[in-house]
Structure 1
Amino acid sequence: MTTHRSRTVAEEPVTSVLPDGDVPYDPSHSLNADEEALAALGYKSEFKREFSLFTSFCVSFAVLGLLPSFASTLYYGMGYAGTAGMTWGWIVAMVGIQCVAMGMAELCSSMPTSGGLYYASAVLAPPGWGPFAAWLTGWSNWLAQVTAAPSVDYGVAAMLLAAASINDPSYVPTDYQTFLLTVFIMILHAILTSMPTKWLAQFNSAGSSFNFIALVVVIIMIPAGTDRSSRGLPRFAPSSQVWGTIYEGTSFPAGISVLMSFIGVIWTMSGYDSPFHLAEECSNANLASPRAIVLTSATGGIFGWFLQLVVAYTVVDVEAALGSDLGQPFAAYLMQCMSQKMTLAILALTIIAGFSMGQGCMLAASRVAFAYARDDCFPLSRYWKRVNRYTQTPVNAVWFNCAIGILCLLLIFAGELAVGALFSIGAIAAFVAFTIPIFIRVFFVGDRFRPGPWNLGRYSTPIGTVACAFVLLMIPILCFPSVTGPDLTVEDMNWTCVVYGGPMVIITIWWFVSAHKWFKGPKVNIEHMMLGREGTVVEGQQGPSGDVKDGDSSSTEVQAPEKMLKL
């Protein structure tokens, strides 16, 4: 008689959604460690695991895109609070953001699936609340992801057209030209994101390497190449001015203005969740993916602060940079303190880095859409969850997100503040999705949480508490308009509460009217070929005693498994 080793799901370092007694098992395939962990979560491996710690970090760092993100959100970071918000404000914001990233990494180690935060919310929620928690988390996360590529590509298009204006001062870009150029970039990114996983890993590794090199080069080029002295100014602004002067860019008190400027930090630092969504394509996922999350957030925080400092010490006129005819504050700032050739060189580096960032955003968004479609979260999910048989990637999900993103870009025709909602939506939607499972884990699960191999130990609850408090503070702040009282007009309104809150209200109503009847949260899609629930036995399989159980009496023999995964 052959002896077979039994491995239970309880031995896997992951938190499973499988109900007691369900045992996923494939007798024709010997599972490796990553496949065992994923099977314990209730899913079968559908992708090639060709991402590693480094390549996962490369994707997330590309999505982070410090240089193009900073350039695209300078209007908020510098415009709301000036250089003080850029210097010590960045440090304050990073404390909260790093706590969110570490709380997410702990969840990723425990549940390394592309469903990510959505899956974690379903598993950790109190009995009966899992599907609703997953529903809200999933839709909020998808709204953040699907608006990421359009907002990045809009920033890239704006910088390209600003460079054209620098070369030809008589040229003033129109909204229509900005829209068409952004759509063209979106389509290029969709084509690239439809490539096989191995090509994607290589492309993103190259793009992330360029992103990092360009960031370091720009941090060196700006202080080395500034020509403030030739304009009758000191080479660098005095520290008392940089750290102590708060630009009155809003009608709120200085402290609130600094908090409002955090939108630039939050949006810039919102790409660290990408390794979570790539976990099913990463080897050694329950260690490599959380490490990539923390590494991305920490590296981005440090180098992002350096970039903030060099700009804060070299900017000449904040108000002039914000109101320039170039239509791009970063380009206008460079023209204030650099030669034209140096300005165009830095813009070129930023544009290339932004192109890589946009592709990384679309990659992460496609994996999120695939994971949610796999659980029938979207209308017509059967189309979006298909994996292309040639590339072995979710190509349909890529183009679904691309189409939605292009529709979002119609906000360009509603004015700068309206299209700016894409940035604040990304910040607030991501924060809500990031924090729901962390909040549930801290305040409802507590010590019953089963950590993975990467965890925070006794610091888990304090760090999670800080993360939740920071997000609860920032959500209303991100919805404030820059002006108040009689000065507030439709054009000056912050449309985040409408553009984000509107869809979320509809989604919540949809839940209570219909979705609660058919949406049950993450679906187990792996075959349950061993024991059933409560002592019952799945047809055609071997019982606990080794006897063959079969609904068909003509069956007399069953192949014994080489490995069992049992709850």
Structure 2
Amino acid sequence: MSSDPPRNVSTASAGRNKSVNQEPVTSVLPGGDVPYDPNQEWDADGEVLAALGYKPEFKREFSLFTTFCVSFAILGLLPSFASTLYYGMGYAGTAVKQAHTRIQTGMTWGWLVAMIGIQCVAMSMAELCSSMPTSGGLYYAAAVLAPKGWGPFAAWITGWSNWMGQVTGAPSVNYGTAAMILAAASIMNPSYVPTNYQTFLLTVLIMLIHACMSSLPTRWIAKINSVGSTFNMLALIVVLIIIPSANNRESRGLPKFTPSSQVWGDIYEGTSFPPGVAVLMSFVSVIWTMSGYDSPFHLAEECSNANIASPRAIVLTSSVGGIFGWFLQLVVAYTVVSIDDALESPVGQPFAAYLDQILPQRISMAILALSIVAGFFMGQGCMIAASRVTFAYARDDCFPLSNIWKQVNPVTRTPVNAVWFNCGIGIICLLLIFGGELAVGALFSIGAIAMFVAFTTPIFIRTFFVGNRFRRGPWHLGRFSPYIGALASAFVALMVPILCLPTVTGDDLTPDLMNWTCLVYGGPMLFVLVWWAVSARTWFKGPKVNVEHLMLGDGGAAVVQGKDADADADADSSGAPEVVGGKAAEDLKKL
């Protein structure tokens, strides 16, 4: 990978004379057009965004560090690991045959194998981000890169899948946080057993608090997430130190740590599938935990030096998260006493039950408290990222009532309406709590599958269909790009069906043991496909530009205003609007 020096110039006057071909972007605009706004001067970031067809609407108050902070807060390694320990621990095992217990190999080898595929996805996404640093992100990239005639459809599928992953992010995180809070109450008072109703109400309360926080100005949001990310990192380091040093396995007549030959050996049989498939099924924990690295893409319009800082933040998040996440997996694998007891504990939360197994109560409660606070910050970061995705798609009229959801609040300069729209959808999703653990568990699998489909669709198109139509940005993978993209695509193609498998097969499979991911994700996506076939294909043309641009040619020039163009500037088959209207001679003189 490499970072070329920025090719765009910083002066507004020079930027307003440059055509799209002179910018380091792959744009929906025709290559020879010159983005133009008589009422606004652009800086370097504004020029790049204008070349993509959008006028600047946010203050660029995120830096590389603060963008990384948001994405790392969304990654939330400690609370993510705590929330999904059931999947990593219950599906495959790292070998410990102690009485009736084994530890999972999916937590050791599995994390390493999964991270190879995830890192390929992250690096390929970062390359796209450098070339197309806009809030629409993956959706915009799919529209621009798709083969002729397929741009709008690729954008439609990518956008809706990404939105489903984003909108279920905050509810799933906040559900995990609420479960940890109630589990702490159960540890302190063993006679207390949380009910679904209590879990639902507590999760809804956290959702409402996050919606209020996410409606603040960008500057405040950046500061809050800097604090949250710092806390997440410090809490993770504290946990990595305390658990190995303070565990009380020896008081149970066990060695302080499980022997390495057992941790890296046999597999805990947590499913009816063969061991290899069971290990792959445990990847849902890794994939869901590591799904926040796309956030810098969606925050690109609020980040300075976006076509370099945003892709760097993507790779930094996935790399740091992968390394520290593996360390946390190893700590648990070397110290867990009984997987069965952790999974079946009346506490109702495997991570809390695991801590109660190996630590004195005061220490386990302290670690649980750190995980809860980290989870709170993580949920808020998820809501921020989701609101930017909703805003970007509403800007292109993807949703019913898009005119409402795409409004930027004039006071905070943030998409407040989109925040509350997502909050409402998230609360509706939380009704799955009343369907039981497997039903609400679909929120986690949806997040993994929906995000992976959205992540990889433009990567797959870029790798196998684009050829030389892709104009790389200043951050790129060089000659390794097609190989890394191919590995990313193959990994996702393998994992999507795996994540839909139930834990049991044959006569043992009953409705209450079914993996409902295929229904909860597939149902809405089927509706989206039917909607496309019946109606959307006639009016949805992909990204809508909202910046005027001049087309220079033999016959003079023409001007188009994307937001006002007839039929939203009838798009050509690649999703790019035709140039209509024309008052060019007068405007060319201004340039």
Q: If the TM-score is normalised by the length of the shorter chain, which range does it land in? A: over 0.9
Cα separation, partners in 2 of 1:84 and 1:534, compared to 1, 3 Å: farther
Residue 441 of structure 2 is aligned to residue 398 of structure 1: no
Cα separation, partners in 2 of 1:324 and 1:498, compared to 1, 3 Å: same
Q: Provide the C-alpha distance between the structure 2 equivalents of 1:100 and 1:43, rounded to a whole number of angstroms.
A: 26
Report if aligned partners of 2:20, 2:30 keep a CA contact under 8 Å in 1. no
Give the counterpart letter for 1:336 in structure 2.
Q
Match of 2:276 in 1: 255
- 1:204-219, aligned counterparts within 5 Å? 204-219=225-240
Q: Provide the C-alpha distance between the structure 1 equivalents of 2:396 and 2:190, rounded to a whole number of angstroms.
A: 52
Q: Provide the C-alpha distance between the structure 1 equivalents of 2:413 and 2:371, rounded to a whole number of angstroms.
A: 32
Match of 2:404 in 1: 383
Q: Deviations over 1:188-240 (max 9, x none)?
A: 00000000000000000010000000001001010011011111111001111
Match of 1:289 in 2: 310
Q: Provide the C-alpha distance between the structure 1 equivalents of 2:445 and 2:523, rounded to a whole number of angstroms.
A: 14
Q: Which of 88, 97, 108 is the matching residue for 2:109?
A: 88
- 1:50-61, aligned counterparts within 5 Å? 50-61=61-72
Q: What is the CA distance between 1:78 and its match in structure 2? A: 0.7
Partner of 1:500, secondary structure, is helix
Q: What is the CA distance between 1:9 and its match in structure 2? A: 1.9
Q: What is the CA distance between 1:432 and its match in structure 2? A: 0.2
> Percent sequence identity over matched residues?
73
- 1:315-354, aligned counterparts within 5 Å? 315-354=336-375
Residue 125 of structure 2 is aligned to residue 104 of structure 1: yes
Report if aligned partners of 2:125, 2:459 keep a CA contact under 8 Å in 1. yes
Give the counterpart letter for 1:42 in structure 2.
G
Q: Deviations over 1:99-157 (max 9, x none)?
A: 00000000000000000000000000001100000000000000000000000000000
Partner of 2:116, secondary structure, is helix
Report if aligned partners of 2:20, 2:33 keep a CA contact under 8 Å in 1. no
Q: What is the CA distance between 1:343 and its match in structure 2? A: 0.6
Report if aligned partners of 1:366, 1:397 keep a CA contact under 8 Å in 2. yes
Q: What is the CA distance between 1:533 and its match in structure 2? A: 7.2
Match of 2:321 in 1: 300
Residue 37 of structure 2 is aligned to residue 8 of structure 1: no
Cα separation, partners in 2 of 1:233 and 1:293, compared to 1, 3 Å: same
Q: Which of 495, 501, 504 is the matching residue for 1:474?
A: 495
Q: What is the CA distance between 1:556 and its match in structure 2? A: 11
Match of 1:185 in 2: 206
Give the counterpart letter for 1:51 in structure 2.
F
Cα separation, partners in 2 of 1:536 and 1:244, compared to 1, 3 Å: same
Q: Which of 133, 138, 142 is the matching residue for 1:121?
A: 142
Q: Provide the C-alpha distance between the structure 2 equivalents of 1:211 and 1:408, rounded to a whole number of angstroms.
A: 26
Partner of 2:18, secondary structure, is strand
Q: Deviations over 1:331-382 (max 9, x none)?
A: 0000110010011000000000000000000000000000000000011100
Q: Normalized against structure 2, the TM-score is what?
A: 0.91
Q: What is the CA distance between 1:540 and its match in structure 2? A: 12
- 1:101-180, aligned counterparts within 5 Å? 101-180=122-201
Q: What is the CA distance between 1:29 and its match in structure 2? A: 2.6
Q: Report how many residues are paired.
A: 548
Residue 580 of structure 2 is aligned to residue 561 of structure 1: no
Report if aligned partners of 2:68, 2:313 keep a CA contact under 8 Å in 1. yes
Q: Which of 434, 452, 456 is the matching residue for 2:455?
A: 434
Q: Which of 48, 54, 57 is the matching residue for 1:37?
A: 48
Q: Which of 60, 66, 83 is the matching residue for 1:49?
A: 60
Q: Deviations over 1:406-455 (max 9, x none)?
A: 00000000000000000000000000000000000000013432111000
Match of 2:571 in 1: none
Q: Provide the C-alpha distance between the structure 1 equivalents of 2:23 and 2:191, rounded to a whole number of angstroms.
A: 65
Q: What is the CA distance between 1:20 and its match in structure 2? A: 4.7
Report if aligned partners of 1:20, 1:533 keep a CA contact under 8 Å in 2. no
Q: What is the CA distance between 1:539 and its match in structure 2? A: 7.0
Q: Provide the C-alpha distance between the structure 1 equivalents of 2:66 and 2:582, rounded to a whole number of angstroms.
A: 48
Q: Provide the C-alpha distance between the structure 2 equivalents of 1:412 and 1:91, rounded to a whole number of angstroms.
A: 32
Q: What is the CA distance between 1:8 and its match in structure 2? A: 2.2
Give the counterpart letter for 1:561 in structure 2.
K
Q: Normalized against structure 1, the TM-score is what?
A: 0.94
Partner of 1:24, secondary structure, is strand
Give the counterpart letter for 2:353 in structure 1.
A
Q: Provide the C-alpha distance between the structure 2 equivalents of 1:112 and 1:48, rounded to a whole number of angstroms.
A: 15
Match of 2:81 in 1: 70
Q: Provide the C-alpha distance between the structure 1 equivalents of 2:350 and 2:471, rounded to a whole number of angstroms.
A: 47
Q: Provide the C-alpha distance between the structure 2 equivalents of 1:7 and 1:337, rounded to a whole number of angstroms.
A: 64
Q: What is the CA distance between 1:22 and its match in structure 2? A: 4.0
Q: Provide the C-alpha distance between the structure 1 equivalents of 2:257 and 2:560, rounded to a whole number of angstroms.
A: 78
Partner of 2:465, secondary structure, is helix
Considering Cα pairs closer than 8 Å and 6+ residues apart, tell me whether 1 or 2 has the greater RCO.
1
Cα separation, partners in 2 of 1:374 and 1:533, compared to 1, 3 Å: farther
Cα separation, partners in 2 of 1:396 and 1:235, compared to 1, 3 Å: same
Q: Which of 537, 542, 546 is the matching residue for 2:557?
A: 537
Give the counterpart letter for 1:40 in structure 2.
A
Q: Provide the C-alpha distance between the structure 1 equivalents of 2:296 and 2:456, rounded to a whole number of angstroms.
A: 17
Give the counterpart letter for 2:391 in structure 1.
F
Partner of 1:7, secondary structure, is coil
Give the counterpart letter for 2:36 in structure 1.
Y
Match of 1:544 in 2: none
Structure 2 runs not aligned, ≥5 long: 1-12, 94-103, 562-580
Cα separation, partners in 2 of 1:483 and 1:556, compared to 1, 3 Å: closer
Give the counterpart letter for 1:48 in structure 2.
K
Partner of 1:166, secondary structure, is helix
Residue 311 of structure 2 is aligned to residue 270 of structure 1: no
Q: Provide the C-alpha distance between the structure 2 equivalents of 1:405 and 1:310, rounded to a whole number of angstroms.
A: 33
Partner of 1:491, secondary structure, is helix
Deviates more, 1:230-239 or 1:116-125: 230-239
Q: Provide the C-alpha distance between the structure 1 equivalents of 2:144 and 2:47, rounded to a whole number of angstroms.
A: 18
Cα separation, partners in 2 of 1:556 and 1:405, compared to 1, 3 Å: closer
Cα separation, partners in 2 of 1:516 and 1:532, compared to 1, 3 Å: farther
Give the counterpart letter for 1:502 in structure 2.
G
Cα separation, partners in 2 of 1:559 and 1:485, compared to 1, 3 Å: closer
Residue 241 of structure 2 is aligned to residue 220 of structure 1: yes
Q: Deviations over 1:3-60 (max 9, x none)?
A: x753222111111111255432123332111000000000000000000100010000
Report if aligned partners of 2:19, 2:32 keep a CA contact under 8 Å in 1. no
Q: What is the CA distance between 1:518 and its match in structure 2? A: 0.4
- 1:474-493, aligned counterparts within 5 Å? 474-493=495-514
Report if aligned partners of 1:144, 1:429 keep a CA contact under 8 Å in 2. yes
Q: Which runs of 4+ in 1 moved over 6 A?
A: 555-559
Report if aligned partners of 2:124, 2:481 keep a CA contact under 8 Å in 1. yes
Q: Which of 501, 505, 515 is the matching residue for 1:494?
A: 515
Match of 1:17 in 2: 28
Partner of 1:322, secondary structure, is helix
Q: What is the CA distance between 1:559 and its match in structure 2? A: 8.7
Partner of 1:505, secondary structure, is helix
Structure 1 runs not aligned, ≥5 long: 542-549, 563-567
Q: Provide the C-alpha distance between the structure 1 equivalents of 2:540 and 2:353, rounded to a whole number of angstroms.
A: 49
Partner of 1:31, secondary structure, is coil
Q: Provide the C-alpha distance between the structure 1 equivalents of 2:539 and 2:587, rounded to a whole number of angstroms.
A: 35
Cα separation, partners in 2 of 1:24 and 1:343, compared to 1, 3 Å: same
Match of 1:28 in 2: 39
Report if aligned partners of 1:158, 1:178 keep a CA contact under 8 Å in 2. yes
Report if aligned partners of 1:446, 1:461 keep a CA contact under 8 Å in 2. no
Q: Provide the C-alpha distance between the structure 2 equivalents of 1:49 and 1:129, rounded to a whole number of angstroms.
A: 33
CA RMSD of aligned residues (A): 1.8
